[in-house]
């Protein structure tokens, strides 16, 4: 349902600036064209003055579009209404007057894009009143022609508003009304391109609410939702007009500040993160030249984790790519190496579920996720220590340790053995190109006794892109042993479908950016349905990652996804904490045979059950 109090999410400073500058340019051109046919000196002078005003205003908005505040937008739209009425009065003839009165449609378009519905309706009413009055005062324009002009004005406004609301809803978080992850990606992509062109700074912050789990634990989900709405409203009101506040997911938010640096954004955020009612931790970074949105968010996420380890309720500025980053990464890699020597890198498991005919979720798989708690700094984000491992040549040791620990723990668990579940382990492309990788996997399986048919290696899309022949050969080798293969985070890379014919994959795991909006975005739902149909044709199972709500799960089930993983179903836990669930899981005569989705995938092996997604 449309919220008449909300500014459409598409009304970004960039779009507002571009729309206003183009509108004034077109209005000026219209005045000049009509001016060429005018004879009266009065009308020619007025039209020339209005055209000049439009050129100046349009050029000014184009140059300062990121700094045009809301009061200036109101003033420019109101000025447009007055100028359009003026020129329609002074035109020499009825045809020229009607042509110039049509400029009110530009006002209608601008108002319906820029303002809440109530404000837009007010501007539309004022525009119609002035247009009608100006045309009737002339005496040479009939009432029917005036009414036709008004109807055109209303029709344009209604159509534009419907399109704007539909476009906004696909990128809006339903709970808070803020841009969601998709909206954040769109904003970042646009602002990074603008910053690269203009050379202006762009500061970005990731924010995590401190102690938010206690809110859900004590008050339930309704209390948590209310707290998130309250935070979103108060933060949005406190942030500068040119900034953008988005909900990244869960209790995570992101802030973009075009034209601002780290120091300015820290000054803005400091009162918010230190608010004792809802304290938060923030990581602030400045965009680098040619940096992708994913790289920028990864640095911001690393900074917010440092803020949490430093004591929470504070802002931490991330390194700008100089020696501090390399030094920090090297120190982290050194500590990780020591942790691997001491066996301090643990494994948590996130369950994967399928739905049976009655709609009941049935546990049928696990995903192994590396966890590291530093003795001094506390929990280290996997995004941080995996990146450090890849940068400093530790990823093979890390991957081997996680695979060995996973297989050994599960093989020694009677509940896991009896349940028939399959486990997925993430594999870096750097591991796959290392000589002897497939034989190393076989040795782990022999040492631990975990069956090859109950192991799935999860690789990202980058592995299936061009120039990955060595990695693909390694996947064929492990596949020959009976180990399954899943393409993880499908849809976030180049999605090179032609390479799927070469990769011995059993499953595609849809990235959470698809699943998060499949129930609210018809276009995203069509994409999911197309991937499911393609997977069916190729004999691949489809796993939906990041399922966080019952609505998402129901929509993805209807679209044909086979298996589901996410916080709506279960969070990652140590194996001991999952014992009760595993003991209640009915044993399968053939591993994976109880999986409802498996029976519907052409060519699928009965012993291939995908692991859950990250």
- Is the Cβ–Cβ distance between 452 and 481 less than 8 Å? yes
Tell me 284's DSSP state.
E
Query: Can you tell me the distance from the alpha carbon of 566 to that of 572, in angstroms, rounded to the nearest whole number?
Result: 9
Beta bridge partners of 4: none
3-state per-residue secondary structure call for 483-497: CEEEEEEECCCCCCH
Query: Can you tell me the distance from the alpha carbon of 155 to that of 318, in angstroms, rounded to the nearest whole number?
Result: 50
- One of 461, 545, 554, 583 is an active-site residue; which one? 545
Query: Can you tell me the distance from the alpha carbon of 276 to that of 531, in angstroms, rounded to the nearest whole number?
Result: 46
> Within a 10 A sphere around the Cβ of 224, how many other Cβ atoms?
21
Query: Can you tell me the distance from the alpha carbon of 331 to that of 181, in angstroms, rounded to the nearest whole number?
Result: 32
Query: Can you tell me the distance from the alpha carbon of 85 to that of 101, in angstroms, rounded to the nearest whole number?
Result: 7
Burial of 336 (0-12, 13-18, 19+ CB in 10 A): buried
Concatenating the DSSP letter of every residue in 163-182 gives: HHHHHHHTTB-TTTSSB-HH
Closest Cα partner for 191 from 179, 206, 203? 203
- Is the Cβ–Cβ distance between 66 and 198 less than 8 Å? no
- Is the Cβ–Cβ distance between 253 and 177 less than 8 Å? no
Locate 465 and state its tokens.
């892109």
Query: Can you tell me the distance from the alpha carbon of 140 to that of 137, in angstroms, rounded to the nearest whole number?
Result: 8
Concatenating the DSSP letter of every residue in 421-474 gives: -EEEEE--HHHHTSTTHHHHHHHHHHHH---GGGEEEEEEGGGGSSS-HHHHHH
- Residue the block writes with tokens 């076989």: 442
Closest Cα partner for 425 from 369, 473, 380? 369
Query: Can you tell me the distance from the alpha carbon of 498 to that of 458, in angstroms, rounded to the nearest whole number?
Result: 19
Distances (CA, A) of 423 to 8, 124, 171, 256, 545: 44, 60, 34, 38, 15
Closest Cα partner for 282 from 230, 204, 349, 199? 204
Tell me 503's DSSP state.
S
Locate 335 and state its tokens.
């500590």
- Is the Cβ–Cβ distance between 486 and 457 less than 8 Å? yes
Query: Can you tell me the distance from the alpha carbon of 182 to that of 44, in angstroms, rounded to the nearest whole number?
Result: 50
Locate 20 and state its tokens.
């206003």
Residue 367 bears catalytic tag: no
Instruction: Say if strands 202-209 and 280-286 run parallel, antiparallel, or are unpaired.
Output: antiparallel
Q: What is the separation of C-alpha 232 from the centre of its chain, rounded to a whole number of angstroms?
A: 17
Query: Can you tell me the distance from the alpha carbon of 297 to that of 20, in angstroms, rounded to the nearest whole number?
Result: 31
Rounded to 5 degrees, what angle do the CA atoms 298, 17, 200 make? 45
The residues carrying an active-site annotation are: 545
């Amino acid at each position: 349902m449309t919220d008449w109090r909300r500014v459409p999410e598409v009304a970004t400073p960039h779009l507002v600036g571009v729309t206003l500058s183009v509108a004034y340019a077109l209005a000026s051109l219209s005045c000049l064209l009509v001016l060429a046919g005018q004879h009266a000196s009065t009308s020619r002078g007025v039209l020339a003055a209005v055209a000049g005003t439009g050129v100046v205003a349009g050029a000014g908005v184009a140059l300062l579009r990121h700094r045009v505040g809301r009061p200036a937008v109101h003033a420019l739209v109101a000025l447009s209404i007055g100028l359009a009425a003026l020129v329609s009065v002074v035109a020499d003839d009825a045809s020229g007057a009607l042509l110039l009165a049509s400029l009110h449609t530009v006002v209608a378009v601008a108002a319906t894009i820029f303002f809440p519905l109530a404000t837009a309706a007010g501007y539309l009413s004022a525009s119609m009143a002035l247009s009608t009055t100006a045309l009737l005062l002339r005496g040479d324009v009939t009432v029917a022609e005036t009414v036709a002009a008004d109807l055109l004005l209303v029709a344009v406004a209604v159509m534009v508003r419907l399109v704007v609301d539909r476009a906004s809803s696909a990128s809006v978080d339903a709970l808070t009304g803020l841009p969601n992850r998709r909206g954040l990606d769109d904003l970042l992509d646009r602002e990074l391109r603008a910053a690269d062109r203009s050379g202006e700074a762009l500061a970005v912050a990731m924010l995590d609410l401190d102690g938010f789990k206690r809110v859900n634990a004590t008050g339930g989900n309704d209390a948590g939702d209310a707290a998130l709405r309250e935070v979103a409203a108060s933060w949005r009101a406190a942030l500068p007009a040119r900034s953008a506040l988005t909900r990244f997911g869960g209790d995570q938010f992101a802030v973009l500040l075009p034209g601002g640096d780290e120091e300015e954004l820290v000054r803005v955020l400091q009162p918010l993160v230190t608010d004792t009612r809802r304290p938060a931790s923030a990581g602030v970074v400045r965009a680098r030249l040619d940096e992708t949105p994913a790289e920028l968010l990864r640095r911001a996420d690393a900074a917010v984790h440092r803020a949490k380890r430093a004591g929470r309720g504070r802002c931490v500025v991330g390194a700008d790519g100089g020696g501090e980053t390399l030094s920090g990464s090297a120190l982290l890699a050194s500590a990780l190496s020591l942790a691997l020597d001491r066996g301090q890198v643990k494994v948590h498991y996130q369950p994967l579920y399928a739905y049976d005919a009655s709609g009941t979720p049935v546990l049928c798989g696990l995903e192994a996720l590396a966890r590291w708690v530093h003795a001094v700094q506390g929990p280290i984000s996997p995004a941080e220590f995996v990146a450090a491992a890849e940068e400093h040549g530790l990823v093979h040791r890390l991957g081997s340790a996680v695979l060995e620990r996973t297989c050994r723990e599960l093989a020694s668990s009677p509940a896991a053995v009896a349940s028939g579940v399959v486990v997925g382990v993430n594999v870096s492309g750097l591991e796959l190109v290392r000589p002897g990788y497939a034989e190393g996997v076989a040795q782990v399986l022999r040492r631990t006794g975990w069956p090859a048919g109950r192991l799935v290696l999860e690789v990202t899309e980058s592995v299936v892109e061009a120039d990955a022949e060595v990695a693909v050969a390694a996947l064929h080798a492990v596949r020959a042993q009976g180990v399954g293969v899943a393409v993880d985070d499908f849809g976030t890379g180049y999605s090179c479908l032609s390479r799927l014919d070469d990769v011995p994959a059993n499953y595609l795991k849809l990235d959470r950016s698809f699943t998060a909006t499949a129930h609210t975005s018809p276009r995203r739902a069509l994409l999911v349905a197309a991937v499911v149909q393609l997977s069916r044709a190729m004999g691949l199972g489809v796993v939906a990652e990041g399922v966080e709500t019952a609505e998402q799960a129901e929509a993805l089930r209807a679209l044909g996804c086979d298996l589901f993983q996410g916080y709506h179903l279960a969070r990652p836990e140590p194996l001991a904490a999952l014992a009760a669930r595993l003991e209640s899981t009915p044993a399968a005569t053939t591993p994976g045979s109880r999986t409802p989705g498996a029976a519907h995938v052409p060519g699928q092996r009965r012993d291939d059950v995908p692991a859950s997604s990250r």
